[in-house]
A and B are shown apart, each in its own frame.
Chain A
Amino acid sequence: MVKDLWDLFIAFTRASNLGFGGGPAVVPLIQAEAVDKYKWMNNEEYADALAISNALPGPIATKMAAYVGYRVAGWPGAFSALLGTIGPMVLVVVLLGNLIMTYSQSPALQAMLQAVRPVVVVLIAHTAYEMGRKSFPDLSTWLIALVTVGIIVLTSLHPAFIIVASMLLGYAVWGKKRSK
């Protein structure tokens, strides 16, 4: 139990505090920890976590911490993961805020951020790919994806509605008996 809490804290400290670009940049890093390294869950279950998180408002990384932490070790696990996610940077912002303000526009930092951005984009695309390998078992799931792309491109409908609608659809179509 104590080891689980420590692992959660370390995993989320590492994931969150290397995520340059806010919450979305943290998503692939949490996946690397929770799925690949600690094997707390598989890629499909990670996709379920993202479904819950995207259906709710607020910052995404702390919601992922709640889901993963709670699954692994209940409430203490959720708090441990949350502490790793926001603890270090909350301290840095409060204690070193003024110092960082001086350096936030420095060419050295901008150079590092320019180089890390393409990495973050590829990491996020890779997460989509990893989850996608198991999320399209048949033609109808491809159809759902296609409709989702259409809605995102053509309308400004909020993703939470698409998430809820697709769950209702899935429940109605596959929810009876023959789902496997």
Chain B
Amino acid sequence: MLSQLWDLFIAFTRASNLGFGGGPAVIPLIQVEAVDKYHWITNEQFADALAVCNALPAPIAPKLGAYIGYLVAGWPGVLAALLGTIGPTFVAVIVLTNVLMKYSNSPGLKGALKGVRPVVVVLVAQTAVEMGFTSFPNLITWGIGAVTAVSLLWLKIHPAILIVLSMVFGLIVFY
């Protein structure tokens, strides 16, 4: 039992913290650990688990961790997998945030942040472009996109409302 919890922790620490680029980059690494290395589940089970996680909101990697962790070792397994998935970067972010808050008035940090902000804008825009390639298969989806843009820019509607409305709309129109 203890060795299983340790394996879960190590497997998810390795998968999550070698995967730069957020959840999607981590998925194939989790597959390598859970299917190829530790043989906790088969490829088909992994595909099923991924389908479940993709159907739900929230970040993918913690959901996969919870699912596989529970299969292997119940609730303690969930905790071990989650700790590996988010623990190290959670602490790292807080350490860096401390530095950021402590030196927020230093010219050096201000200069560094001035340099990095355009990069962040480009990275976020790139995410939109990449997701955009597969998200507009027909004219109706373009219409949804246009209505969303108008609602955000001029009507200042909260994004949560737009998401719920679009899903109701999809149920009526595409189903």
Interface check A5, CB cutoff 8 A: no
Interface check A3, CB cutoff 8 A: no
Min CB gap B133→A, angstroms: 9
**B22, B53, B86, B88: which has the most chain A beta carbons within 10 Å?**
B22
**Is chain B's binding surface mostly helix, strand, loop or mixed?**
helix
With beta carbons under 8 angstroms apart, the residue of B113, B118, B134, B148 that contacts A142 is B118
Q: Are B131 and A117 touching (Cβ within 8 A)?
A: yes
Min CB gap B165→A, angstroms: 9
Q: Are A115 and B167 touching (Cβ within 8 A)?
A: yes
Interface check A40, CB cutoff 8 A: no
A105–B173 Cα distance when bound, in Å, is 18
Q: A97-B67, A114-B141 are in contact. Are A170 and B116 (CB under 8 A)?
A: yes
Interface check A111, CB cutoff 8 A: yes
Q: What bracket does the count of chain A residues touching chain B fall in? A: 35 or more
Closest 8 CB pairs of A and B: A170-B115, A115-B170, A174-B111, A175-B111, A111-B174, A135-B117, A117-B135, A58-B89
Add 11 more A-B contacts to A94-B67, A115-B167, A126-B152 (CB < 8 A).
A22-B22, A44-B117, A51-B113, A52-B93, A58-B17, A58-B89, A100-B52, A117-B131, A123-B148, A131-B120, A148-B122
Question: Interface of B with A (CB < 8 Å)?
Answer: 16-24, 26, 48-49, 51-63, 66-67, 70, 75, 78, 82, 85-86, 88-90, 92-94, 96-98, 100-101, 107-128, 131-132, 134-137, 141-142, 144-145, 148-149, 152-153, 158-160, 162-164, 166-171, 173-175
Question: Interface of A with B (CB < 8 Å)?
Answer: 14-29, 32, 36-37, 44, 47-48, 50-54, 56-63, 66-67, 70-71, 75, 78, 82, 85-86, 88-90, 92-94, 97, 100-101, 103-105, 107-128, 131-132, 134-137, 141-142, 144-145, 148-149, 152, 158-160, 162-163, 166-177, 179
